[in-house]
Amino acid sequence: MSTEHCVIVGGSHAAASIAAALRQEGWEGKISIVGEEPHMPYHRPPLSKAYFCGEKNEHELLIRPESFYEKNDIDLVLGSRVVGIDREAKKLTLHDGGEIPYTKLALTTGAKVRKIPFTGHELPGVHYLRDLGDVDEIKKYVTEGASAVIVGGGYIGLETAASLRKLGMKVTVLEAMSRVLQRVTAPELSAFYTRIHTEEGVDIRTDVTLEEITGDGKVNGVRLADGTVIDCKLVVIGVGVIPETELAEQAGLVVNNGIVVNEFAQTNDPDIVAAGDCTFHHNPIYNMDIRLESVQNATDQGRIAAKTLCGNPTAYSALPWFWSDQYDLKLQIAGLSQGYDQVVVRGDTTSGRSFAAFYFKEGRLLAVDAVNSPKEFMMCKKALAAGQTADPNKVADLSIELKDLFTAP
């Protein structure tokens, strides 16, 4: 009987990936997942969409059923928070004083919401949206015909706005920058999503600053810096996330915008790996160090971490991809567009609901944002992974077959 014990800290996508991959890679020792939430690892993307709108229940969010963990002898320690890592003694300390020994450790602590202490932020009716419990609380304030304010025009803010509109609420989105999605997409995408949300009845306000959240015992409105008052009974703040690195820092692991790992998902301690939103790692496809908030990265990097733990190190090299669902729109993103100097749109962003935006840098294809265009997404994803590019002068020409746009590296 093996005396090895791998403890996975965090009940995330990466945690579920590592646990499953460990058994697939032949790990015969004990496996434990220690999760702060009382739930088994679940899919987070549906929280702001299908789960919010009641189209999926809690059970349907689970990444794996309970029977999977039982069958594979994976111990779930739920509702427990790890507060300390003793690397020398190889043990974890829990919030209740309990201890768990380990021989190998995997950190999948994910990210936490960025909180801003607006005046009135403690009022009932003010929420952040990150986990299942957050959504359950927000839903208590959802009433058809009532007003809600979303602070932040990023993906989580716009997805939440779409869900609230679907549930019949009046919605205002407040964005401090000059356009929604400004940090992550081109102006063409921002204009498209502003048009769609406006058509769906959302009031989008950019270049605005929230001064305070007002209320007497509960939220009744927000006041902007210019004095404008917006009445509402619900405020959802979505202004980004920050990686959960405190445990790693306290344990003396290298941290820099995330837990720093090598191509094998290994930290500076050879017995500790990390995967998912909490990691800062090198992407060889783009030759840059990055931290990704994506299910794809959590799942793929989790498998790499498991291989490392099993003594079969394999370098991580995966094309990042993401998605966002709003109304009847499925945005699928292949690659990373940071540093682009040219955007070419294939299709029309000013009418209709289907197109693809190709991002280039010095004439080389970097990424694609495909809205209701699964073919463009799949072909670009495949091309980017193979190191292929496309001619920016031909992309917009719909008479040219999609497959004929790409050229060898």
Taking the alpha carbons at both ends of the chain, their separation in whole angstroms is: 50
pLDDT tens digits, one per residue of 207-216 = 999 999 999 9
User: What's the CA angle centered on 13, arms 3 and 277, to 5 degrees?
Assistant: 105
Tell me, what's the pLDDT at 407? 84
Does the pLDDT at position 43 exceed 70? yes
Confidence of residue 258 (pLDDT cuts 50, 70, 90): very high
Distance of CA 191 to the CA centre of its chain: 23
Average pLDDT of the chain, as a whole number: 96
pLDDT tens digits, one per residue of 292-322 = 999 999 999 999 999 999 999 999 999 999 9
Tell me, what's the pLDDT at 378? 97
Does the pLDDT at position 409 exceed 90? no
Does the pLDDT at position 50 exceed 90? yes
Ordered by where they begin, the domains of the chain are 5-112+242-309 (3.50.50.60), 126-237 (3.50.50.60), 328-407 (3.30.390.30)
Q: How far apart are CA 307 and CA 303, in angstroms?
A: 6
Q: How far apart are CA 56 and CA 79, in angstroms?
A: 23
Average pLDDT for residues 388-399, to the nearest whole number? 95
Q: Provide the sign of the torsion angle of the four alpha carbons 114, 86, 12, 283, taken in this order.
A: positive
Confidence of residue 29 (pLDDT cuts 50, 70, 90): very high
Average pLDDT for residues 222-245, to the nearest whole number? 97
- The closest of 402, 397, 394, 350 to 375, measured between CA atoms, is 402
Tell me, what's the pLDDT at 408? 77
Instruction: Let me know: does 32 contact 7? Beta carbons within 8 Å.
Output: yes
Which DSSP symbol is given to 182? T
- The closest of 334, 351, 362, 347 to 402, measured between CA atoms, is 347
pLDDT tens digits, one per residue of 65-92 = 999 999 999 999 999 999 999 999 999 9
Does the pLDDT at position 288 exceed 80? yes
Q: What are phi and psi of 151, to 5 degrees?
A: -100, 110
Amino acid at 396: A
Give me the percent of the chain exceeding a pLDDT of 70: 100
Does the pLDDT at position 1 exceed 70? no
Strand residues in 218-363 grouped as ranges (E): 219-224, 229-231, 234-237, 241-243, 259-260, 272-274, 279-283, 288-290, 321-326, 329-335, 342-347, 355-361
Tell me, what's the pLDDT at 2? 79
pLDDT tens digits, one per residue of 322-363 = 999 999 999 999 999 999 999 999 999 999 899 999 999 999
Give me the percent of the chain exceeding a pLDDT of 90: 98
Q: How far apart are CA 381 and CA 376, in angstroms?
A: 8
